[in-house]
Chain A
Amino acid sequence: MRLRPPRGLRVRLVIAFLLVSALSALITAALTFRQARSAILDRTQDNAVHELRAQVDSLAPDLPFPPTTQDLRNFTRQLDRAGTSRDWRTAASYRGGPPVSAPGETRKTEVPAALRTAVGEEKDAVVRQRVEHDGTPWLVIGMPVLYGTDGADERRAVSGLVVYADFSLDGDKADIAALVTAAQAGAVPALVIALGPALFAARRVLRPVRGLRNGAEKLASGDLGTRLPVTGHDELSDLTRTFNAMATHLEQDDAELRRMEATARRFAADVAHELRTPLAAMTAVTEVLDEDARGGTLPADTADAVLLISDETRKLARMVEDLMEVSRFDAGAATLHLDEVALRTLVEKTVQLRGWQTPPGRVVVEVPDDVRVSVDPRRIDVVLANLIGNGLRHGAPPVVVRARREPGSEARDAGGDDLVVTVIDHGAGIPDDVLPHVFDRFYKADAARTRSEGSGLGLAIAAENVRLHHGTLTAANSPEGGAEFTLTLPLALPRPDVPEVEEGP
């Protein structure tokens, strides 16, 4: 499994902080270590060289020149004994001869050839070299012995005798190892201690970020009055200021839009309402007009004109009613008055009320007798009348109304059964390009077609009524060719506003 990079800003900040502090601790430790190590080693070497020189200077004068191998052997033995503090092993060679060491001593290290050459070249200098032997570091020193050991200013001459000494650096190694251990032991607590400021810094940075996020969430959920306190003068406070400015703009725009919308709605409602009073006067007399126009007492032209006026007055009245209804939906003022009724009765009453039951077979109702629904009967009547009337007007009879129960969709709460009512006509169906618009207000299927009998709001009002019932209304074409409207209502409707009759005074 692949490790995912940490998501949270806080985690990333803390990790970055720790990495930086770990890196700086490491670099500091490494530099310190290097410095300390070379200081320790240099000091050891200098001491050793110094000591060796002192011993050689005190013993060399006793050496006969030219020395024999035996002389050299004795010389080195004396040197070995003198160097007890450092426990070195010495060897000596004369004029490039093989180094001779004290008898019985098996040398731990061979004097490296490079060292011997170096001593040969630099006649005057002490040469040292670190070698690795059996996993431990050794220091080998090559030192030419000079004449004239008194008088510092006198030019010394090379005697041809070279003394080699080697000794273990184990002790120094242990010192250095202790340094490393100390650095390691210090780094872990340092990192732990660094975690504190890291968390603190992350908190400091993230708190305004979290505030911004909360503010944005509130804003997104519609609370446009959200403002955040601005503190400090950093980039985040700039961002907060910008956020506040944005919220202010949004709030202003929203208020403006709402105001305009409310004005438009009120205007539509006012217009409809103002139209009602003159329409009331006109509608009251339409039958008087009809009666006289059909009575044959008026000249034919006048009679036609009068009939036209009374017809159009009725249409206008219906349209104003529809407009009022739509504006009630838009204003959210439409309420449900639920009643439990038999669906079959509901459909049959709708058909009877409109006189659609004659001639027989024009509207076919195939609804089971036992289905009872809790609906607003007036609103469902509007829906059914619109769907059936639409089928009769634009399609062709018979218009068939069917109803069935279906298991409710999971998405809806309670999960009760749905009531599915289909209204199918036997006309040519709805053209595909018109289908998505049938529920639009004042949508005209054919631009050339003039007003039909309806107000152009019928299906829109039907859809709103269904929505008020928490149901759905869809339009499609049935396989047989006619238009098919499907009304789906939850059978168990939530009952938020059943009129409380028995309790109130």
Chain B
Amino acid sequence: MPRVLLIEDDPAVQKGVSLALRRRGHELEVAASGETGLLTLERFRPDLVLLDLMLPGMSGLEVCRRIRETMQLPIIILSARGDDIDLVVGLEAGADDYIVKPASGEVIEARMKAVLRRVVPQDPDVDPGRAGPAGQARPHGPEQHGDLALDRSALLVFKEGRELALAPSELKLLLFLSAAPGQVFSRQHLLEQVWEHSFYGDARLVDACVMRLRGKVEDDPRHPVYIQTVRGFGYRFGPVPRPDGGERPRQDER
């Protein structure tokens, strides 16, 4: 069972969430502030961090950034603030998912499981003719897309030979999109497949993750080559220019 670090200052929420999660078999450690949370992180080595945003002292956003600097473990924000701006800022800081309080133990666990799942469920909608034998179970070695090399079995991504440090949600999104290059996926679809949210989850989760991902994989995030926006519809991977210097890919269909 995964080890979870809960960083939360309110004792009642601490108790409630740890009760619910321990009951479900999770190993849980609680930190009441960001500073102790970061210390506990070193010692406890959790598989996942549940993070409140409104903390005394160091803010949850700062904690999130600090963790992201050194680690790629999943971070889920658990906040009483559900306004748009809080959500966007939290996701930009590098969180993989965002849960607005109050949430039942069931919901928290479902989100944790989704984020912890290292591979994306097989997508039945992918056109096999275009995508080939798509999916994560593809046995052969790394596949090359322009400067990007994706190793689906080792779950590693290289750009120009250098390994990229991708957060779990970023990695899953990239693997999912690149499994069917050129195919357009709606935000709702990506939410369902990558985050395992319901159809009506918050699509800004996708947008924020795409932005962070572009910052890591694209040469120029303003003119993306790998993760392209199809205005009014969603996102697609590529088409990526050939390494031999073929024509520049089409820009977004506007």
Q: Are B104 and A286 in contact (CB under 8 A)?
A: yes
Pick from B17, B83, B104, B215: contact of A505, CB under 8 Å: B215
Using an 8 Å CB-CB cutoff, how does the interface string of A324-366 with B read, 1 for contact, 0 for none? Answer: 1000100001010111110001000110010000000000000
Contacts of B130 in A (CB 8 A): none
Give residues 178-204 of B contacting A (CB, 8 Å). 186-188, 198-204
Q: Are A287 and B106 in contact (CB under 8 A)?
A: yes
Q: Does A284 contact B (CB under 8 A)?
A: yes
Provide the bound-state CA to CA distance between A381 and B108, in Å: 22
Q: Are A281 and B13 in contact (CB under 8 A)?
A: yes
Q: Are A288 and B13 in contact (CB under 8 A)?
A: no
CB distance from A310 to the nearest CB of B (A): 10
Using an 8 Å CB-CB cutoff, how does the interface string of B58-77 with A read, 1 for contact, 0 for none? Answer: 00000000000000000000
Contacts of A338 in B (CB 8 A): 232
Provide the bound-state CA to CA distance between A349 and B101, in Å: 24
Q: Spot the interface stretch: A55-63, A111-119, A272-280, A301-309.
A: A272-280
For B83, the closest partner residue in chain A by CB is A333
Q: Are A280 and B102 in contact (CB under 8 A)?
A: yes
Q: Are B186 and A285 in contact (CB under 8 A)?
A: no
Contacts of B232 in A (CB 8 A): 338-340, 374, 498
Q: Does A371 contact B (CB under 8 A)?
A: no
Contacts of A369 in B (CB 8 A): none
What total count of A-B pairs have CB within 8 Å?
125
Contacts of B221 in A (CB 8 A): 504-505
Given contacts A281-B13, A282-B16, contact A341 B188 (CB under 8 A): yes
Contacts of B25 in A (CB 8 A): none
Q: Does A283 contact B (CB under 8 A)?
A: yes
Provide the bound-state CA to CA distance between A284 and B105, in Å: 5
Contacts of B229 in A (CB 8 A): 501-502
Pick from A280, A287, A353, A502: contact of B101, CB under 8 Å: A280
Q: Does A503 contact B (CB under 8 A)?
A: yes
For B15, the closest partner residue in chain A by CB is A281
Contacts of A333 in B (CB 8 A): 83-84
CB distance from A111 to the nearest CB of B (A): 114
Pick from B78, B84, B103, B187: contact of A335, CB under 8 Å: B84
Q: Does A377 contact B (CB under 8 A)?
A: yes
Contacts of A277 in B (CB 8 A): 10, 12-13, 80, 101
Q: Does B211 contact A (CB under 8 A)?
A: yes
Provide the bound-state CA to CA distance between A185 and B234, in Å: 87
Provide the bound-state CA to CA distance between A287 and B84, in Å: 29
Q: Does A436 contact B (CB under 8 A)?
A: no
Q: Are A328 and B83 in contact (CB under 8 A)?
A: yes
Provide the bound-state CA to CA distance between A345 and B188, in Å: 11
CB distance from A334 to the nearest CB of B (A): 9
Q: Report which residue of B10, B12, B23, B101 has the largest number of chain A beta carbons within 10 angstroms of its beta carbon.
A: B101
Q: Are A353 and B10 in contact (CB under 8 A)?
A: no
Provide the bound-state CA to CA distance between A328 and B100, in Å: 15
Q: Does B252 contact A (CB under 8 A)?
A: yes
Provide the bound-state CA to CA distance between A324 and B80, in Å: 11
CB distance from A12 to the nearest CB of B (A): 58
For B222, the closest partner residue in chain A by CB is A503
Provide the bound-state CA to CA distance between A442 and B69, in Å: 48
Provide the bound-state CA to CA distance between A495 and B199, in Å: 22
Q: Are A284 and B13 in contact (CB under 8 A)?
A: yes
CB distance from B71 to the nearest CB of A (A): 23
Q: Are B19 and A499 in contact (CB under 8 A)?
A: no
Residues of A within 8 A of B (CB-CB), count: 42
Q: Are B23 and A288 in contact (CB under 8 A)?
A: yes
CB distance from B240 to the nearest CB of A (A): 16
Given contacts A499-B204, A501-B207, contact A284 B228 (CB under 8 A): no
Pick from B23, B82, B234: contact of A324, CB under 8 Å: B82
Provide the bound-state CA to CA distance between A349 and B198, in Å: 9
Q: Does A317 contact B (CB under 8 A)?
A: yes
Pick from A273, A291, A349, A374: contact of B80, CB under 8 Å: A273
Provide the bound-state CA to CA distance between A466 and B81, in Å: 24
Contacts of A337 in B (CB 8 A): 202-204
Q: Are A285 and B19 in contact (CB under 8 A)?
A: yes
Q: Does B224 contact A (CB under 8 A)?
A: yes
Q: Are A283 and B103 in contact (CB under 8 A)?
A: yes
Q: Does A378 contact B (CB under 8 A)?
A: yes
Q: Does B114 contact A (CB under 8 A)?
A: no
Give residues 147-199 of B contacting A (CB, 8 Å). 186-188, 198-199
For A313, the closest partner residue in chain B by CB is B102
CB distance from B206 to the nearest CB of A (A): 9
Q: Does B119 contact A (CB under 8 A)?
A: no
CB distance from B153 to the nearest CB of A (A): 30
For A328, the closest partner residue in chain B by CB is B83
Given contacts A281-B10, A284-B19, A285-B20, contact A505 B211 (CB under 8 A): yes
Q: Are B198 and A504 in contact (CB under 8 A)?
A: no
Q: Are B12 and A353 in contact (CB under 8 A)?
A: no
CB distance from B34 to the nearest CB of A (A): 18
CB distance from A1 to the nearest CB of B (A): 58
Q: Report which residue of A277, A282, A324, A341 has the largest number of chain B beta carbons within 10 angstroms of its beta carbon.
A: A277
For B191, the closest partner residue in chain A by CB is A377
Q: Are A276 and B16 in contact (CB under 8 A)?
A: no
Q: Report which residue of A283, A341, A377 has the largest number of chain B beta carbons within 10 angstroms of its beta carbon.
A: A283
Q: Are A276 and B20 in contact (CB under 8 A)?
A: no
Given contacts A284-B16, A502-B229, contact A276 B188 (CB under 8 A): no
Provide the bound-state CA to CA distance between A285 and B107, in Å: 12
Pick from B20, B81, B210: contact of A501, CB under 8 Å: B210
Provide the bound-state CA to CA distance between A335 and B204, in Å: 12
Q: What 8 pairs between A and B have smallest CB-CB spacing?
A: A281-B16, A280-B101, A502-B229, A284-B16, A281-B12, A283-B102, A280-B102, A349-B199
- List 17 additional A-B contacts (Cβ < 8 Å) besides A280-B80, A335-B84: A280-B103, A281-B102, A283-B16, A284-B102, A286-B104, A286-B105, A320-B102, A349-B199, A374-B232, A377-B199, A378-B200, A378-B201, A381-B199, A498-B232, A499-B207, A501-B229, A505-B215
Chain A residues within CB distance 8 Å of chain B: 273, 276-288, 291, 314, 317, 320, 324, 328, 333, 335, 337-341, 345, 349-350, 353, 374, 377-378, 381, 498-499, 501-505
5 contacts between A and B (CB under 8 A): A314-B104, A333-B83, A337-B203, A345-B199, A349-B200
